């Protein structure tokens, strides 16, 4: 597999690792999102122990406001963070 294909497979796998923990297996509950953000993105986002901050991130991500974060909403977050990282390295 190419690097991009490997990256895609890893992003899909990472989502399902957390989405399958409770409730709907294809979406992230707030608890699952917290686990994902802490374990996978904690270095970049800081610890999301702050409940108000987590509530805001969840609300912002849940763009169709159905109370869960689906794959499309998750991949949008990953794409945004990836763009920020790219900007950061491009400016160096």
- Footprint on this chain of Ca ion (rule: CB under 5 A): 62, 64, 66
Closest contact distance (angstroms) between CB of 46 and Ca ion is: 24
The residue among 60 and 66 lying less far from Ca ion, judged by its C-beta, is 66
Closest contact distance (angstroms) between CB of 28 and Ca ion is: 9
**Residue 38, CB-side half-sphere exposure with 13 Å CA sphere:** 14
Closest contact distance (angstroms) between CB of 44 and Ca ion is: 22
Cα distances (angstroms) measured from residue 66 to each of 24, 40, 59, 60, 61: 12, 24, 10, 12, 11
């Amino acid at each position: 597999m190419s690097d991009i294909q490997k990256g895609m497979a890893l992003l899909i796998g990472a989502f399902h690792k957390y989405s399958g923990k409770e409730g709907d297996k294809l979406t992230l509950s707030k608890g699952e999102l917290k686990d994902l953000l802490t374990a996978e993105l904690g270095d970049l986002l800081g610890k999301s122990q702050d409940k108000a901050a987590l509530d805001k991130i969840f609300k912002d991500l849940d763009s169709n406001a159905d109370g869960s974060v689906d794959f499309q909403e998750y991949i949008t977050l990953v794409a945004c963070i990836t763009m920020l990282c790219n900007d950061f390295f491009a400016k160096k």
